[in-house]
Structure 1
Amino acid sequence: MSSQPSTDPDLEFPAPLSPMVGKYLVRKKYVAAGLRAIDLACLAVPDRRPHATASHGGELRSIVFSQCGHLGDLIMTLPALRWVRQNRPETKIGLIVGSWAKPMLKGIAELYDASYFADHFMLDRSSRPLAEKIRSHRQSWKTAAQQVRRDGYDAAVECYPFLQNSIPLLHATGIPVRAGFTSGGFGPLLTHRARWVHASRPFLDYPRDLLRMLFSDSSLDRPLQAYYPAPSATGKRPREPYVVLQAGAGNPIREWADERWIRLAKELAERGISIVIAGAGARERERAGRISAAVPPHMVLNLCDKLSWDEFIDVIAGAAHVVCLESSTSHIAAAFRIPSTVVMPATNDPKQFGPANDQARILTFRTPCAPCFRSGGCAHMACIQRVTAKDAIGSVLEALRPVRDAVG
């Protein structure tokens, strides 16, 4: 991380918020009050079927996981699915995801037996009108509940700990054992409840708390590790050692200034380092065009919007180094232990939401408010905008030194 603290008297640093209000993973007291009211209302909801009072996995023949967050959230849930697949290979595994995860499902097919789609309107990043998102939410939840109920499962695990969880959907299926965190509300609809404890612990390890309520196994005493199934070889991976630049993030406050990306690319190219630019969408495509235009054509391969999801995974898995923002790319690189430079704002604890990768270096400019736990950030975002291209160049070159020595 950048070591110099900001002393700029012209910058106003807002007071940090608490990462939680009581037991809830929210930052505003009125939202927590709303969740408490929801929980009180849930106490009056009758269970659809009698549930098991306890279980240690001895009789669980099938289990469905729900992770309807975005791709990074799903990637960080894969270690939990892998644990079940490895340690209870006879168990049928279902997976409930948002429809935006469809491109990812083929590449992770080894980890589940059946999939279902449920879109929460608050997680829908499309440009559709809110009313349409709500209609899609209702229909997809109704369909998913019917399909899961038809297929039948002994247990369900809700892995998304925030307000936009799918606990009501799991309750509607009548599955007898339902495990999840109480931090996003709807806790009374669960049969096995875990309290979220905010700590400097990788996000991907938290589902282990839920698995331990269902399975008695000493291997669950050890933290889960980043994982993604090995991709099939594609023709899009360059042959020579290359550095991937992925300059997009799901939230604009996590983005880094274009001129820093351009300077980074130019410096790497001048040192003979081949560059691959990845990404998707109009915003990232335009940025990729500006970066690649600043670099000699023979030193850069612009693959932005030219890769399928599985081809993207293969390109990341074959990289000598990855430079990216706080995004799913950092977690994919972590799964393959690819050395990485991750430029992150200080809005969250980097040890919790950063990549679980001992080969990654997180670059954040030190500010007196970090971490601030403000989802909207602040006006200046000095914590990321004052990370320099020089910081990133130094990180990449230091990590590449053993690779370049071996090639040379």
Structure 2
Amino acid sequence: MSLLHLKNILCIRPDNMGDLIMTAPAMRALKESFDAKITVLTSSMAKGIVKHIPEIDDALIFDMPWVKTPDTPDAESINQIVSVIKERSFDAAVIFTVYSQSPLPTAMLAYLAGIPKVLAYCRENPYHLLTDWVPDKEPYTLIEHQVRRDLDLVATIGAFTDNENLYLMVQEELWQLITKKLIETGVDINKPWLILHAGVSERKREYPIRKWADAAQKLISEKGYQILLTGSLDEKPLTDALENIIGEGSFSVAGLFNLDEFVCLVKHAPIMLSVNTGTVHIAAAVGTPVVVLYAQTNPQHTPWNVANKVLQFPVPAHLHSRNEVIVHVNNSLYNKSIDLPSADDILTAMDELLNRPGSPAQPFHEIPNENQAIAAS
């Protein structure tokens, strides 16, 4: 790809909110290296986080039928988004994927829109659909963190950044409103509290509700924490059920905060306890330490450049993916039986993070992450 005239770049990341957050350092590299305007083409699931990512200048929202999204667009809507892309006269497009995805359906959008330069990883020969093809070695030769994978992709065209951290802009003026809501819910904001985020978008990443409750009860009785059970409005039945089981000291606040408020809430939390979902990447992007109950799905998505502890647990066999690339990862990386992390395991991990040197004032960008590179077994 010629480095000349790359001033108007389309970055395509058509997945979830967490995926877009992890792509931000690569977009930063493009923006800094080429002094380019960055437009993202992303999904309705990621729409809300766009304004918090400073590298993004503009956004197109479209749910692609080859990505798992709430609704399936019809053929005419695909023609419409191609027309919209064509009108923008992009100099280049960069397609970001996980190793189990093919970039080719997305590349066809760029091809039909007449974008002259298109960069992506691809396992098979893309011929005319990609002008800049980077053969995808993952996951058969190695597995890298998603952030590193994306940075390595743009590095092939000479795009680099000295700042590889995740970062979200936080609206600090919302904190007063957030504390008001917490007080009205019964939270004593003058006493210790933390976030427990149990909701997931896929059943295979669910951690058992009874074990969540066991951990929360120990955090309340042994550590004196108040537990904020966060989630979307759709997850309120889950957080209500957890509150009923946990009892005093827990607060179901699912649906209480919009995304802007939630980002600010996470920034002010001393620590987060969650499953592997987008909230983990929000925490990493605002510098909040995080303990992750990590379902053995994609090993690329552990917290990036933030203090963290990852406690893995197995996915039930009947929920395993049929994607052959993921089957290979399961057979090679996740082929040993492991137990579900216990409440004591969770408390130990949280103690280690909260008692680490410099906690809690140590800047998150100075804390190394042990999970940035993952070698496939």
Task: With the length of structure 1 as denominator, give the TM-score of the two structures.
Answer: 0.72
Identity, in percent, stands at 22
Shift, 1:83, TM fit: 2.6
Instruction: Provide the residue aligned with 1:175 in structure 2.
Output: 115
Larger radius of gyration: 1
Instruction: Provide the residue aligned with 2:204 in structure 1.
Output: 253
Measured in 1, the distance between the counterparts of 2:200 and 2:111 equals 33
CA 1:404 to 1:167, structure 2 compared with 1: closer, same or farther past 3 Å?
A: closer
Instruction: Provide the residue aligned with 2:232 in structure 1.
Output: 280
Residue by residue, what CA displacement relative to the aligned partner does 1:37-79 show, whole Å, maximum 9, x if unpaired? xxxxxxxxxxxxxxxxx312x4212111011011221111111
> Matches of residues 15-164 of structure 1 in structure 2 within 5 Å?
54-56=1-3, 58-89=4-35, 91-108=36-53, 110-126=54-70, 133-135=72-74, 138-161=75-98, 162-163=101-102
Please tell me the residue identity of whatever aligns with 1:340. Answer: V
Measured in 2, the distance between the counterparts of 1:288 and 1:326 equals 17
> Aligned with 2:45: secondary structure?
helix
Please tell me the residue identity of whatever aligns with 2:280. Answer: S
CA 1:389 to 1:62, structure 2 compared with 1: closer, same or farther past 3 Å?
A: same
> Aligned with 1:59: secondary structure?
coil
Residue by residue, what CA displacement relative to the aligned partner does 1:69-98 show, whole Å, maximum 9, x if unpaired? 112211111112223334444x22111111
**Higher relative contact order by CA 8 Å / sep ≥ 6: 1 or 2?**
1
Is 2:13–2:96's contact at 8 Å kept on the other side of the alignment? yes
> Aligned with 2:10: secondary structure?
strand
Aligned with 1:333 (options 260, 283, 303)? 283
Aligned with 2:133 (options 193, 196, 206)? 193
CA 1:386 to 1:330, structure 2 compared with 1: closer, same or farther past 3 Å?
A: same
- Do residues 398 (structure 1) and 346 (structure 2) align? no
Is 2:195–2:229's contact at 8 Å kept on the other side of the alignment? yes
> Aligned with 1:356: secondary structure?
coil
> Matches of residues 254-403 of structure 1 in structure 2 within 5 Å?
254-270=205-221, 271-282=223-234, 284-297=235-248, 299-349=249-299, 352-365=300-313, 373-374=326-327, 386-401=340-355
Unaligned runs of 5+ in 2: 183-188, 318-324, 362-377
Is 2:233–2:256's contact at 8 Å kept on the other side of the alignment? no
Is 1:60–1:154's contact at 8 Å kept on the other side of the alignment? yes
Shift, 1:397, TM fit: 2.7
Is 1:208–1:223's contact at 8 Å kept on the other side of the alignment? no
For this pair of structures, how many residues does the alignment match?
Answer: 333
Is 1:324–1:330's contact at 8 Å kept on the other side of the alignment? yes
